[in-house]
Each structure stands twice: as C-alpha cells, then as structure tokens.
Amino acid sequence: MYTLAFETSCDETSVAVLKNDTVLSNIILSQYFHSKFGGVVPEIASREHLKSIVEITEKALSDSGITKNDINLIAATSKPGLIGALLIGLNFAKSLAVSLKVPFVPVNHIQAHIYSSFIQKDKFDFPFISLIVSGGHTLLILVEDFFKHKLLGTTVDDAAGEAFDKVAKMLGLGYPGGPIIDELAKKGNLDFHKFPLSHIKDKPFYFSFSGIKTSVLYFLKEINYEVNKSEKLTFDICASFQKAIIESLFFKTRNAAEQLEIKNISVSGGVSANSALKEKFNELIKKEYKIYIPEINYTTDNAGMVGITGYYKYMKSEDKMFFDDSSINIKAMPRINLNSI
C-alpha cells in the first residue's frame, strides 16, 4: 500500500511517500525567509506553497522510486493551521485523489505529531502519554488506542516553541529560536538564573509559558543586557531559560504518567528536537519507561507524519468508502479545542 502525503499547515511545504507504515521519501521545503519578519506571514506562506508544491511532489515521487500511478491512498493535513496555507495542500491532494481515483484521507496536524513518534519504529505500545510541543501547540494527551485520545492538559497561553522563539527574538538571535537556543545553551550555566514558571491552580497538567517570557524580558532590563551583553551572558541566559521550560514539560508529563500508571511516553513536535529535552526524557528509560521521540526529520512539520497518520486512519477504519468523500474542507477553529485533537 503506497500513500502520498502532504503537509502545508504553516511554513513547511512537505510531501512524503510511504510504503505501508515505512517512509520512502520525505521532502521538506522550509520557508526560512519568514525570519526577516520575525514570524510567519500567512499570505506569503500560502503563495510559496502554491509555487513549490508541484516540484516537491515530483521530487518525493522520484526519490521514493515509485510513480504516481502506483499510489493507493492520498493524505493531507486538513486542520489546524493557517487557513490559506492548508487550502493549498488540501485542494492539491484532493484533486490528485480524484484524478488518480484513489481514496483521500484528511489528517489532523496534532494527531500527525502524535503518530510521528512511531515512524521507522518496529512496534509501539498503547496506552501512552503523548506530549506534543511545537511552535503552535503544547498538549499532554492520553492515547488509549489508535485515535482514542483524551486531553490531559494544554497551555493556557503561549506554546513551548513560541516561548523559545520569543526569547530568542529578545536576545536578538533570529527565528526560529528553538534550534539556536538549543545550541547556545550547551555552552551556558544552567543555574545562572532561576526563571519562574507559573502553575495553574487545580490543573496539574496544564502549562503556562507567557510568564517566563515576561520574566526573561524584565531580567534583560534589570541587567541592562543591551549594554552588558557578552557571549557568556547569552549562553547562560539560554541555558537557564531552556532548563526552566524543559523542567515544566518533563515534570508534568512524568507526573501524568505516574498518576495514570503508564510506562510509555512519546514526545513530538518541533521542540522535541531539543537535545537537552531528549536527554532529560531518556533518563526515564533507566526507570523502565519506554520513551518514543521521533528522528530529527520528523520533529518539525513534515509530510511523513501526515502519511503514517493517514495510513493508520485508513487501515483502522471500518468503512473505507468513507474516505472517497472529498467534500472535506477547511474550517476556522479556536486554538484550544478538544475536537481538534
């Protein structure tokens, strides 16, 4: 079974080809030029997806060694994301499905991050706790079985990746901030400064990252960073900020796992590429936990994760005819919405 998958929900144009649950090719074109605006500009993102989608599709097919006539299933991210950007991938995918006369599966981007942890892995066990940490989302989910998800917690304000991006901006480091802070933090002192993290009353598995961003801002003013900045100071701020974020993500996830007596944890989304975060979660392996973190190519947005999710969704569905319905369309949706998981 060959699946052709598309991801265009934000600033990555990505197309993948899978043979069953194995990724044969996963082409990702990142729109780095948004960095000069300090964040993604939705209209420009849509236009760029439109410009590159045909070429990326051809490259994904040629790298996989199959042709479009071999494709049995088409999947594309349908929500959540930037509406204009989603429309490009979704409509391209649906049209291709109609012309090739193959079923089309709409894929939820958050679900795609959940199942990205299992790409190129032999086997994984349910139930598991899934921590999804990206630029747009921070969610803690109990995954009881395929597509049986329960929300345990989410962020009440900024996403974890957003905090990395905003703090990097304050430090004048560029966008996206996560990978830059990750590198600089390696040379810094973790205990240089204690940046506080808020706790949400009666919601032990909810996150809040806007307070830490403000506390970094005040700290920079207090030490007159612009005047006193040095490489060492920047490394130390990155290290202590990153430590605070990781501790919040780690302890809430571990507490949820302990409370629910679950020994399988997956961490996915762009922030799961963070080297210190991986190290922290992998320490749990000594305590007999199974930790699933995707390989680096599948952490930030990619079509491989859309393909594996579409494939599982199709294989697990009882009525496969359902997927011939290509009337699926884009809907605007609030940021924290149980139905969006």
Out of 152, 301, 302, 304, the only residue in the binding site for Zn ion (CB under 5 A) is 301
Q: Which two tokens stand for residue 214?
A: 């403000």
Residue 91 Cβ, how far from Zn ion at the closest point, in Å?
Answer: 20
HSE of 111, CA atoms in CB hemisphere, 13 A: 27
Site for Zn ion in 127-156 (CB under 5 A): 134
Name the segment binding ligand KG4 (CB under 6 A); options: 31-39, 83-91, 177-185, 282-290: 177-185
Q: Which does 271 bind (CB under 5 to 8 A by kind): ligand KG4, Zn ion, none?
A: ligand KG4
Out of 14, 117, 274, 340, the only residue in the binding site for ligand KG4 (CB under 6 A) is 274
| Interaction between residue 136 and ligand KG4 (CB under 6 A) | yes
Of 23, 53, 192, which Cα lies nearest the Cα of 120? 23
| Interaction between residue 273 and ligand KG4 (CB under 6 A) | yes
| Interaction between residue 271 and ligand KG4 (CB under 6 A) | yes
Out of 8, 46, 134, 155, the only residue in the binding site for ligand KG4 (CB under 6 A) is 134
| Interaction between residue 48 and ligand KG4 (CB under 6 A) | no
236 in Cβ contact with 193 (< 8 Å): yes
| Interaction between residue 294 and ligand KG4 (CB under 6 A) | no
307 in Cβ contact with 18 (< 8 Å): yes
For Zn ion, the closer CB: 137 or 252? 137
| Interaction between residue 161 and ligand KG4 (CB under 6 A) | yes
Binding site for Zn ion (CB under 5 A): 134, 301
